[in-house]
Amino acid sequence: MPELPDLQAFSRNLDKKLAGKTVKEVIIHNAKKLNVSENELRAKLEKQKLKEVYRNGKELYIKFSEGDILALHLMLHGKLFLFEGKNSNKYSIIELVFTDDSGLVLTDFQGIATPTLNPAEKEAPDAVDDKAGFAYLKERLGKTKTNVKTVLLDQKIIRGIGNAYADEILWDAGISPFSASNKLPEDKIKDLISSIHSVLKDAEKEILKSNPDIINGEVRDFMNIHNSKKKHSPKGAPILIKEGTRKTYYTEEQTLYS
């Protein structure tokens, strides 16, 4: 699943390619996940100018000239493609066709990627928002004994971080993913916040460096810990893997707070 740095890179490139274009037609191939009727979606978006594309949590937001927003959640396997003329991509869910006959399509072979018209405002702050600062995370972490990685993955607490980057962030901060959230000392919460910002920002740079025009897929080969091709961390410790619904990559360099 694309995470915050991936989506940030996608949004930058899509905004450069699409801002200012006018929607000629909205083509809906799979309406199962729509929050409104097909007719309402078309009526809202057709003839509007695309104003900007940006990331919000784990979604891409496409904002239009009249203020409407089409949110795209890629889920596990959703992908975005640009096309000229006719869309020839398989497993299409929704297409935006512009007046210059270019287009953007969302695909997903599982059919679960989700387009949402005018999504409700989210209560949880974005991971790189100032609202997700020390006071906020100290309070939220202090309320639960749940391990800290689970808290980082909870989109109702902090939005944008997924499994791979949670591992990278916690290693960078020197915190074991199995630490009880309410046992983290204040200095480690500060380290955690610093690592959230630096790891996610640096990852976006690495993604764009290796694939400047990226709008789909995942680039992971630069990762320090959550990387199946690496056996040791940059500091030399063996990388350990805990199997589960989500694999957790960690090392004994990380302090366990319990």
User: At 254, is the secondary structure helix, strand, or coil?
Assistant: coil
Can you read off the two tokens belonging to residue 213?
């025009």
Cβ atoms within 10 Å of 232's Cβ, excluding its own: 12
pLDDT for the residue 244: 87
CA 111-114-116 angle, to 5 degrees, is 150
Which residue(s) pair with 60 in the sheet?
55, 72
Q: What are phi and psi of 43, to 5 degrees?
A: -60, -35
Amino acid at residue number 150: T
pLDDT for the residue 1: 82
- pTM (predicted TM-score): 0.94
pLDDT tens-digit map of 87-142? 999 999 999 999 999 999 999 999 999 999 999 999 999 999 999 999 999 999 99
Can you read off the two tokens belonging to residue 45?
């978006």
C-alpha atoms less than 13 angstroms from C-alpha of 192 in its C-beta half-sphere: 31
pLDDT for the residue 245: 86
Q: Are 226 and 88 in contact (CB under 8 A)?
A: no
Across the chain, how many H-helices and E-strands are there? 6, 10
Q: Which residues of 182-212 are buried (b: 16+ CB within 10 A; e: fewer)?
A: eebeeebbbbbbebbeebbeebbebbbeeee
174 closest CA partner among 188, 153, 194, 158 = 188
pLDDT for the residue 50: 98
| Full pLDDT tens readout for the chain, 258 residues | 899 999 999 999 999 999 999 999 999 999 988 999 999 999 999 999 999 999 999 999 999 999 999 999 999 999 999 999 999 999 999 999 999 999 999 999 999 999 999 999 999 999 999 999 999 999 999 999 999 999 999 999 999 999 999 999 999 999 999 999 999 999 999 999 999 999 999 999 999 999 999 999 999 999 999 999 999 999 999 999 999 889 999 999 999 999
